[in-house]
Amino acid sequence: MNKQKVIVFLPAYNEEETIGDVIRDIPRTFHPDVTVEVLVINDGSTDSTVNVAKEAGADYIVHMDRNSGLGAAVRRGLKESLNRGADIGVMIDADGEYPADQIPDILQPIFNNRADYTMGSRFKGTIDGMKIHRRLGNYCFTLLQSLLLRTWIYDGQSGMRAFSKQVMEHAEIIHDYNYAQVVTLNIMRKGFRMKEVPITYKVRTKGQSFIKFKAYMFNVIPAIIKEMKRPVEKVKVEENVHKVSQSGAESL
């Protein structure tokens, strides 16, 4: 069978202190039927993010014209992954909080034809060091998503996700500031199957988060309302073409 190409893309804005370790931790040879490439979406960084990423082994660097926002960077990552022939796209934050070595775990449901879209779930796994206000904010936004979709979600704000080729072709991110809520609403309203996978999460010890609570609220809530008001047509979900053999890797 032909090998399945997985492209792991990292949106990055001034992450010179962490992105190198994240890239080095991405598994490249976990299954003989899978090839893995790494793509960095440089969202207008002004530090040494690009040089560090190259030295760590990134296969591709794509530059945004300016700092456009996480939503815009993820949208670009999906597009560029498709353009480079990805069968599956994986998004992981460049801040070191999410376990790159667990990428095979979030791929497994797609390979096994049990999901089209997966999210690494901190709340089904373990969380180390998340402050109470961030935890409560995550609970509230995740509950809102669950109510709107009428299905239980544990971690709607995860920064670690995998997308089948068909999902990448149809996923829409309608605002530039962020993507986490609107892309899940969009994908699941179109009829794609979602599955959460437990992951081990550790709050960043280097660099700083650029998300501010007030800006987040004023940008994300209107985007959720806009997404839910948009007419969305169900997609005829194709048979999973990403299945790989069970032999050759314990994780799969």
Measured torsion, CA atoms of residues 78, 81, 87, 91, in degrees rounded to the nearest 10: -60
Enumerate residues 6+ apart whose C-beta is below 8 A from 11.
41, 43, 70, 73, 74, 77, 91, 93, 94
List the domains of the chain with CATH numbers.
4-229 (3.90.550.10)
What's the pLDDT score for residue 248? 47
8 A C-beta contact, residue 5 and residue 86 = yes
Q: Look at residue 249 in the predicted model and tell me its pLDDT.
A: 46
> What pLDDT is stored for residue 211 in this prediction?
58
What is the per-residue pLDDT for 129? Answer: 72
Q: Is 156 helix (H, G, I), strand (E, B) or coil?
A: coil
Chunked mean pLDDT (size 10), the chain, 252 residues:
91 97 97 97 97 98 95 97 98 96 97 96 84 80 92 94 98 93 96 97 68 70 92 86 57 54
Determine if residue 44 is left, alpha or beta; phi over 0 gives left, psi from -120 to 50 gives alpha, anything else beta. Answer: left
CA 94 vs CA 23, 38, 100, 195: distances in Å: 8, 12, 10, 22
pLDDT of 80: 98
> Is 182 in contact with 224 (CB distance < 8 Å)?
yes
Q: Number of H helices and number of E strands within the chain? A: 8, 7
Structure tokens that stand for 171 in this block: 């996923």
Quote the tokens at residue 216.
């987040």
What pLDDT does 252 receive?
58
Per-residue pLDDT at 61 = 98
